[in-house]
Chains A and B, each alone.
Chain A
Amino acid sequence: MEHVIIGNSAAGLSAAATLCQSKPNAKISIVSDEIHPAYLRCMLTEIVEGKKDLKGIGYHVPAVHASKNLTLHLGVRAEKILLDEKRVCVSDGNTIPYDRLLVATGAIHHSLGIDNESIEGVSPFRTYDQAAGIARMAGKNKHAVVIGAGLTGLRVAQTLNRMGLKVTVVDQASRLLESQLDRESARLIENELYRYGIRFMFDCAPESFLTASYGDVLAGVGLDTGKELKADLAVIGAGVRARSGLVENAGGDTDLGIRVDGHLKTSLPDVYAAGDCVEFRQPGAVSRSFLSALWPFAVEQGRVAALNMLGFDRTYPVPLEKLNATQFGDIPIVSAGKMEGWDDNPVYRDRNGTYRRLFLKDGCLTGYVLMGDIDRAGIYTEAIKRKLPLNGLQKKLLKGNITICDIMNLK
């Protein structure tokens, strides 16, 4: 049986490792349009800062390296799925036959439609090449404008700020991380980043990238409010969308991303999908699709998809809609659940800067924000996943002395 995997990052390699471990002689082909060997995408800020090189953020999966029957096609883009022949056409003119196909194409930056988006000095921040480009353009005391106050935007903003650039973050929303954090925690994070020198402009969007009189090089960013920001460098930390073209063009179900069933199977026969390119829907007659792009989810999905490709029966539950852990300045922060009407919900604050906000629905935990003291966050995550009725555990969750034993009793 021939397994073909499109994508050489978290989901693709996790699937390949699972295939190799379960069937050591499995014939596997991995196709990736990037010429670089696999790297840890979340570590690209280290490339921008010059702390690490490509090798330093290399993603090595031992099981894959040990495989004897695995072919890696780098710098080759999968262009079309030929469903009847069960072959994938790739950009070097070849077609690769498959018995089982895994689409793990991830996500890609799409143009935001801003004037002059492709001039020098403007860059998205998703791939190694883009990170390396930003590293070249960044320089101490230069002015940087970051578009998007989401996780990507804020991470690159912090990095550029550390490198000595004067950073302004611009977002259409009225506050940073609008769908992840409640108003209070967002303000606390904003204050922390402000303390580090990062400036924010909310409720506005970039309209055009302005060039200097002497050439096609970035000089500023024009906002829809009429204001112009000085900029030597503009990083676009928004506009990333699931890469579902392969499945869509072959007639498969897609919307925001690739639609899959409970076994990560697409609507196309023998074609599976995993990682950032996949969309999910909450169970129920009327529910909207959502993307839940997160490195651990991609790794889990790669594994589950591979097990299903091998003929095992493994279901993958709909993942949490928003989940992330990070640190801004000196403040670690973990949050889960889609932020909706959070501001009235139970909150705990102490003098050490610990902040815990819970989002409850029908007696169950559906979201949380932990700042400062983030220990045991995994127990909160588990409580959400299991949809456990809390039965009076709210106090422990707020105080931070919840234990797995408390959760285990509830089933």
Chain B
Amino acid sequence: MSKEILVRYDRCVGCRSCEMACAVAHSESRTLAGTAMAGEKPAKRIFVHQIRDKKIPINCRHCEEAPCVDACIAGAMRRKADGVVTNVGGDHECTGCWMCVMMCQYGIIRAVINERKAVKCDRECFEEQEDIPACVHACPTGALIYGSVDQFGMERQKEFLIKAIS
């Protein structure tokens, strides 16, 4: 089963370290200081929303029947064999037609107008030392987890049971 970025909403404090790490990981400089000094404004692809006092990180689900893949008229957006949905690194380049932005019901695809490119979570952010996405690596509370849905489900069930019987 492929690995997903899963969220423990009870642990999110809204610090937005994930947003920053995502943006920096997609910059030219690859460091916060470097990005700031170069005046780069890379786009983040994970978004921490807030509804009243609940903090809710929203990220790309890399859907199986991804509406963004259906929508792409340029042949750039595709679902790779490892389950990642991305519009970079393929045979065709993104032409900034914005059809994917129009179709993603989660609203996680952003239009970078001055570059005429649509950007989304493309998992091109992996830390060199650790094989996990930048957002997961940056999260200080363990609200973001990189694992399989089955594994995540099992662990949550175990936690619940331990709590119930103790």
Contacts and interface: CB of A to CB of B under 8 A. Distances in A.
Interface string A390-411: 0000000000001111110100
A375 interface: yes
Interface string A368-399: 00000011111101100000000000000000
A407 B106 CA distance: 9
Interface string B74-112: 110000000000000001100111110111111101110
Interface in B24-79: 47, 49, 51, 56, 58, 65, 67, 70-71, 73-75
Contacts of A295: 70-71, 73, 99
A58 B92 CA distance: 9
B113 interface: yes
Interface in A274-295: 295
A200 interface: no
Nearest to B51: A405
Q: How large is the interface on B (under 10, 10 to 19, 20 to 34, 35 or more residues)?
A: 20 to 34
Contacts of B103: 296, 378, 381
Nearest to B90: A60
B105 A334 contact: no
Contact of B58 (A58, A300, A334, A404): A404
Contacts of B111: 332, 374-375
Contact of A403 (B49, B67, B98): B49
A326 B92 CA distance: 18
A334 B98 contact: yes
A331 to B, nearest CB: 9
B91 A378 contact: no
Nearest to A295: B73
B65 to A, nearest CB: 7
Contacts of B116: 327
B101 A40 contact: no
B101 A325 contact: yes
Nearest to B79: A62
A381 B73 contact: no
A326 B113 CA distance: 12
Contact of A327 (B75, B96, B109): B96
Contacts of B104: 378
Contacts of B101: 325, 334, 374-378
14 contacts: A42-B97, A295-B70, A296-B99, A296-B103, A325-B98, A327-B96, A327-B97, A332-B96, A334-B98, A374-B101, A374-B111, A378-B101, A378-B105, A381-B105
Interface of B: 47, 49, 51, 56, 58, 65, 67, 70-71, 73-75, 91-92, 95-99, 101-107, 109-111, 113, 116
Interface of A: 14, 40, 42-43, 57-60, 295-296, 299-300, 303, 323-327, 330, 332, 334, 336, 374-379, 381-382, 402-407, 409
